[in-house]
Amino acid sequence: MATRPPEPDLSGRRILVCRPEPEASRLARRFRNVGAEVRVLPMIDRQPLPETPERRTLILSLDEFSHVIAVSPYAARLLLDAIDTWWPQIPVGIRWYGVGAGTAAVLAEHGLSPRRPLKGWTSEALLALPSLNHLEGEKVLLARGDTGRELIRETLEARGARVTALPLYRRLPAGHSPELLRATLNDFAPEAIVALSGETLNNLIALCANYGHNLYDRLLIVPADRVAEQARTAGFENPCIPGSLADNDIVATVAAQLAGRDGGSGKAK
């Protein structure tokens, strides 16, 4: 019988979580469960967009699409809520996709059988799925925010698909008082920072520049090579990509990296 790996020990370690809510508080609870001291400082606020006649028309024509892609768990939840409003049951014959396990899990909770990358959780990994390789004339609905990378849309259109973007929410920089920033960044002085999107990292970089905080030598958890390179270019010395974006894997990666730094390397690898 397989044995579970031992729980990480982050007793007394100071972790800063910069994810949006509610994911930030959920991850913070997981860190606290293994002894860490945690502060939550979201770098992004998300606001659902109001329903428009155009969006309602798209949802009502859902059965015309061959493929539906959700780019994040938040996008998946908003999409499913909109479908529940206008459809007594979800149309059959659609291939559903989640960019990563977390997004796929939201779709699966709704009784769907989503496809997702077996390895990785990026747009690039999703686009490697065989069922998205040959799409001549097929209609694809892309559930996303009102801004973001255009890689999925542009790549699928180049493969012959007719892609319709469905913006469901907007992302805004989160506002924090100078007192909260001082207490979090100066007084708390995190040893590790979790920033799981390029936009989150950009807002963190801007915060450092605007308020004179130097976080560049801290362990920085990022989601992908692209964001790690972005972090290095900005001056962060220790970006690290976890084994997955599941909470347990993020916590395990932080524990292993901080233990490695204690072992004498002085830097996360």
Record the pTM.
Answer: 0.81
pLDDT attached to residue 264: 45
Residue among 157, 165, 158, 161 nearest 137 (CA):
161
Residue type for position 231? A
Whether 118 and 187 map to the same domain: the answer is no
Domain boundary among 154, 171, 188: 171
Q: Which positions ≥6 away from 99 have C-beta within 8 Å?
A: 69, 70, 71, 72, 116, 117, 121, 122, 123, 125, 126, 152
Asked if residue 100 is part of any domain, the answer here is yes
pLDDT, average across residues 131-137:
91
Residue 8 lies in a domain: no
- Are 69 and 156 members of one domain? yes
Same structural domain, 59 and 160: yes
Q: How high is the pLDDT of residue 190?
A: 93
pLDDT given for residue 269 in this prediction:
36
* Pair (178, 95) in one structural domain: no
pLDDT tens per residue across span 207-266: 877 776 778 899 999 998 889 999 999 999 999 999 888 899 999 999 999 987 765 443
Range of the domain at 204: 14-43+174-263
Question: What ranges in the chain are assigned the alpha helix state H?
Answer: 23-33, 53-60, 73-86, 101-109, 123-127, 151-158, 178-181, 198-211, 225-234, 247-260
**Do 130 and 245 belong to one domain?**
no
Residue 216: inside a domain, yes or no?
Answer: yes
Q: How confident is the model at residue 3 (pLDDT cuts 50, 70, 90)?
A: low
**Whether residue 224 sits in one domain with residue 150:** no
Is the Cα torsion angle 251, 255, 260, 262 positive or negative in sign?
A: positive
Q: How many domains does the chain have?
A: 2
User: Which of residues 152, 171, 190 is at a domain's end?
Assistant: 171
In a domain, 9, yes or no: no
Same domain, 205 and 245: yes
Specify the CATH number for the domain of residue 36: 3.40.50.10090
Q: Over 60: is that where the pLDDT of 2 sits? A: no
Pick left, alpha or beta for residue 204 (phi over 0 → left; psi -120 to 50 → alpha; otherwise beta): alpha
Identify whether residues 53 and 167 lie together within a single domain. Answer: yes
> Is 80 exceeded by the pLDDT of residue 9?
yes
What pLDDT is recorded for position 86?
Answer: 92
Confidence of residue 267 (pLDDT cuts 50, 70, 90): very low
Per residue in 62-110, pLDDT (tens digit) is: 999 999 999 988 999 999 999 999 999 999 999 999 988 888 999 999 9
Single residue among 110, 139, 171 that ends a domain in this structure: 171
CA-nearest of 22, 166, 155, 149 to 82 is: 166
CB 163 within 8 A of CB 184: no
Output the average pLDDT for the chain. Answer: 88
